[in-house]
Amino acid sequence: MTDSARYIKIAEWSDEDNCFVGHCPGVIGPCCHGDDETAVYAELCIIVDEWLEIARQNGEPLPPPTAGAGLLKSAG
């Protein structure tokens, strides 16, 4: 499992931008966009992987993981 898998990644439709926009809460804001949701998500995954690798190379602490955080409480 990669470090990137520990973070929620979202590709969602934006009426304002009239396209899908990808972001990773707690890591990076809106950073990619396009007409194909799957392509935007794939690009987002690459961007998050690269962002985390750069942070690691610079000796910066990684943000707390977000994957699964609070999801069970929200569903209950």
Q: What angle do CA 63, 65, 66 make, to 5 degrees?
A: 115
User: pTM (2 decimals)?
Assistant: 0.85
Where do the structural domains in the chain lie, given as residue ranges?
3-75
CA–CA distance, 46 with 31 (Å, rounded to integer): 11
In three-state secondary structure terms, 61 is coil
Q: What pLDDT, on the 0 to 100 scale, is given for residue 67?
A: 83
Q: What is the pLDDT along the chain (76 residues), one digit of tens a residue?
A: 788 899 999 999 999 999 999 999 999 999 999 999 999 999 999 999 999 999 999 999 999 999 876 654 554 4
